[in-house]
Amino acid sequence: MHHFRAFAKINLYLAVLGRRPGGYHEIDTAMQSVTLADELLCEPLPGGGLAVECSAPGVPAGRGNLVWQALALLQDRGRVRDGLRVRLEKHIPTQAGLGGGSADAACALVAANRIWGLGLAPEELEGLAAEIGSDVPFFVRGGTRRCRGRGERTEALEPLPRSVWAIVKPEYGLSTADVYARVKTGLTAREAETRMLLGCLAKRDLAGAVARMFNDLESAAMSVRPEAGEVKAWMLSLGMTGVTLAGSGSAWCGLCPEGLPVDRARREAGERGWRMQWVKSAEQGWAEVRE
């Protein structure tokens, strides 16, 4: 049995630049892996079949899961006769903007590449990942990376200094399609803000980068669910900084200062029906667990 963890992501910034042919949007974003993770338990199947099991409600098993699709693609391109059974244990909430499904797919590519002994380089895996979903390539390596195009073109940035973040997920989810359908592009130039934030990341200036975090999807998300803004306001009231929407939501992330009233935060989040988790920045998008 091979055990892997697939890490979630947050967005240090997300600029929506315009609409591409085919309905996708052109984006420019910096993604950061964090230690909130799904678990993939992988067992070789010599007969060549694929099996993906997941007990989480609302998450498809079998062919409907991105993990199965990733494995089938790698099996086909690598002309692999062996198979794999994956038991997926979900901890990353869905419809949160944290990239859980994409992280699982990328981790499955990495895991199968190792288990099947294919020896594919990260660049080759990223090429396959781009066929599965726009942000799947990021998770092949993860860490701190700038992603452009639909999100599929990635480049490494200086690793973010080790930091602790809060992720707050309200009880409702947000559909990526619904949020992007309401985003307004071309109203605000983000080039200067992006350049300054990237400059801070290059210098590993955490405070400077956090002070400049933004997400162009926030207003669109709040037009879908006006109460989403309550989460941000509450996090700011506790002294968190850089509070921004994760992807298209519905989760929010914020850097935790020293002295954060943890007990109060946990109590108040629970009273509101919100799921609150503390995570650390991670240097890659997955980890193999040696047991």
So which residues are the catalytic ones?
A: 9, 135
Q: How far apart are CA 215 and CA 232, in angstroms?
A: 12
CA-angle at 43, arms to 40 and 49, nearest 5°: 110
CB atoms near residue 140 (< 10 Å): 27
Q: How far apart are CA 232 and CA 251, in angstroms?
A: 10
Q: Residue length, the chain?
A: 291
Q: For residue 27, what are its two tokens?
A: 């984006």
Q: For residue 4, what are its two tokens?
A: 């892997």
Q: Which residues lie across from 164 on neighbouring strands?
A: 280
CB atoms near residue 3 (< 10 Å): 15
Q: For residue 126, what are its two tokens?
A: 């990223």
Residue 170, Cβ density class (10 Å: 0-12 exposed, 13-18 middle, ≥19 buried): buried
What DSSP state is assigned to residue 203? Answer: T
Residues 20/192/196/185 CA torsion (nearest 10 deg): -30
CB atoms near residue 42 (< 10 Å): 23
Q: Which three-class secondary structure state does DSSP give residue 94?
A: coil
